[in-house]
Amino acid sequence: MRIRAAMATALASAGILLAGWQSGAHIADTGTTTTTSLSSSATSGGSTGNTGNTGNTGNTGSSKTTSTAATYDGTAVQTRFGTVQVRVTIQGGKITEVTALHLTDAERKSAQISSRAAPVLRSEVLQAQSADVQTVGGATVTSDAYLTSLQAALDAAHF
């Protein structure tokens, strides 16, 4: 049974990465990015709800400029404990912020686990400047979904 679950998870992750890659290719073809000014950069919200990022403006072109930060939403990843989706902000070729748009909340325990794991994952991603970080112990499902959504956002950003 574990092998079947692991295979299903791997296939789902591959599908999500493919969808993120295709979505990133579409963005590259149209030249569309979402940006926010430095003064309105996203902040990490709390535990399980949606967090806002105000100040988004339309198409400005490059995410490599120093005066603006481009934001990219990762794919919403479905887990048995709920949905996980993150937003990444890139400025000057660096990941400057990772915001959890939605975290697992199917049960009270899932919400507690997510609220504990999200800040740790955010910190590790900002330090590593990639989605290649360790999962949080006791929050493997949430961590895997968080990092899968993040990788989709980074792929869309061609980061």
**pLDDT surpassing 60 at residue 37:** no
Q: Which residues contact 133 (CB under 8 A, 6 or more apart)?
A: 121, 124, 125, 147
Mean pLDDT, range 44-60, rounded to an integer: 36
The widest CA-to-CA distance across the chain, in whole angstroms, is 51
pTM of the model: 0.60
The string over 74-110, giving b where at least 16 C-beta atoms fall within 10 Å of a residue's C-beta and e elsewhere, is bbebebebbbbbbbbbbbeeebbbbbbbbbbbeeeeb
Q: Mean of the pLDDT values across residues 30-44?
A: 33
What are the pLDDT digits (tens) for 64-100?
Answer: 445 589 999 999 999 999 999 999 999 999 999 999 9
Can you give the residue ranges of every domain in the chain? 2-156
If pLDDT is split at 50, 70 and 90, which confidence band does 49 have? very low
Q: Which amino acid is at 62?
A: S
On the question of pLDDT at 52 being above 70, the answer is no
First-last CA distance in the chain: 36
Q: Look at residue 14 in the predicted model and tell me its pLDDT.
A: 53
Q: What angle do CA 57, 71, 146 make, to 5 degrees?
A: 145
Helix %, strand %, coil % of the chain (to 5): 45, 20, 35
Please state the rounded mean pLDDT for residues 125-148.
96
CB 36 within 8 Å of CB 89: yes
Q: Is the pLDDT of residue 55 over 50?
A: no
Give the residue-averaged pLDDT of 19-46: 37
